[in-house]
Amino acid sequence: MSYEFVTYEKRDLVGWITINRPHILNALNRKTGEEILDALQECEWDPEVRAIVLRGAGRSFCAGDEIGREITAEEERQMSTDRVQHYAYGPGRWTSIVYKMRQIEKPVIAMVQGHAYGAGFNLAMGADFRIAADNAIFCTPFLKRGMGTGTNLLQQYVGIGKAIEMTLLAEPVDAPEALRLGLATRVVPLDQLEAFTTEFAVKLANGPTAIIGLSKAAVYRGWDASPEEAYVFQGVAQEMSRHTSDREEGVLAFKEKRSPKFTGR
């Protein structure tokens, strides 16, 4: 697929997906969303990609949906059928990107600088890790724009009380507070953001990729399950990992008192 609003490159076993609309702080429209999804699919299928970074070009990660943009006739037709369903499952919607990042077996890292607002905030929350610059700002600003919203993944990170506060007050959260709340995985100086993210991603890419995928699925599926159900998901991950080459290498490296050399298989 030829991209207009996204760039994609591979280096050191990492797929780098960049939202490339810096003049509007990487705001999302349908085509941008479809291109991100296509790039994620490319990463998922490519055995040479073992970790994924999603980032934004310029001074912000993503300022959210492109408010006020012209709606195409095709989009209007789809929305007129069921606007709620279109919001949750429509083509190119940020919701579809979140679903995909959570389902993909490889680790996904959001590299966040500047604004992560609205849909951009949700994209960051959909990733497995968030490496934030010290100038990153996280916000769910919908109510200040007269727009209704919910919490999506937010309460999984901060609990329902803080989720209500962030949603109804619509106040921005800076990088240090995001780290304290668990919204950010790491916070680094802006001028070190790409280098740190690269090191972080390469370390994950050299890990036991298949086993990472099994464990990722077990954690997300077990989040709102009962302990008994969650243990079953964990057991599935444990049992399936026994049939991987990396499990054998991990055990052998432990016995030989050396660092394992994983192949991802």
In this structure, the answer to whether residues 59 and 186 fall within a common structural domain is yes
In this structure, the answer to whether residues 193 and 242 fall within a common structural domain is no
Instruction: Give the pLDDT confidence score for residue 79 in this predicted structure.
Output: 61
Nearest to 14 by CA among 201, 261, 200: 201
Tell me which residue range forms the domain holding 105. Answer: 6-205
In this structure, the answer to whether residues 78 and 145 fall within a common structural domain is yes
Q: Are 204 and 185 in contact (CB under 8 A)?
A: no
In this structure, the answer to whether residues 124 and 180 fall within a common structural domain is yes
3-state secondary structure of 176: helix
- Determine the Cα–Cα distance for residues 140 and 121; give it in Å rounded to an integer: 7
- Determine the Cα–Cα distance for residues 160 and 141; give it in Å rounded to an integer: 17
CATH for 48: 3.90.226.10
In this structure, the answer to whether residues 69 and 150 fall within a common structural domain is yes
Instruction: Give the pLDDT confidence score for residue 2 in this predicted structure.
Output: 85
Backbone angles phi, psi at 244, to 5 degrees: -105, 155
In this structure, the answer to whether residues 86 and 214 fall within a common structural domain is no
Total of domains in the chain: 2
In this structure, the answer to whether residues 146 and 184 fall within a common structural domain is yes
Instruction: Give the pLDDT confidence score for residue 86 in this predicted structure.
Output: 75
CATH for 241: 1.10.12
In this structure, the answer to whether residues 189 and 170 fall within a common structural domain is yes
The structure tokens 């200040």 sit at: 144
- Residue 152: CB atoms within 10 A of its CB come to 17
Q: List the chain pLDDT tens, one digit each, 265 residues.
A: 689 999 999 999 999 999 999 999 999 999 999 999 999 999 999 999 999 999 999 999 999 998 766 666 666 666 656 778 878 888 889 999 999 999 999 999 999 999 999 999 999 999 999 999 999 999 999 988 898 888 778 999 999 999 999 999 999 999 999 999 999 999 999 999 999 999 999 999 999 999 999 999 999 999 989 999 999 999 999 999 999 999 999 999 999 999 999 999 9
In this structure, the answer to whether residues 11 and 36 fall within a common structural domain is yes
In this structure, the answer to whether residues 175 and 215 fall within a common structural domain is no
- Determine the Cα–Cα distance for residues 179 and 188; give it in Å rounded to an integer: 11
- How deeply is 254 buried, as exposed, middle or buried, from its count of CB atoms within 10 A (0-12, 13-18, 19+)? exposed
In this structure, the answer to whether residues 185 and 236 fall within a common structural domain is no
In this structure, the answer to whether residues 22 and 132 fall within a common structural domain is yes
User: Does residue 79 sit within a domain?
Assistant: yes
Lookup: tokens for 65: 């949906």
User: Does residue 262 sit within a domain?
Assistant: no
* Helix, strand, coil in percent for the chain, rounding step 5: 50, 15, 35
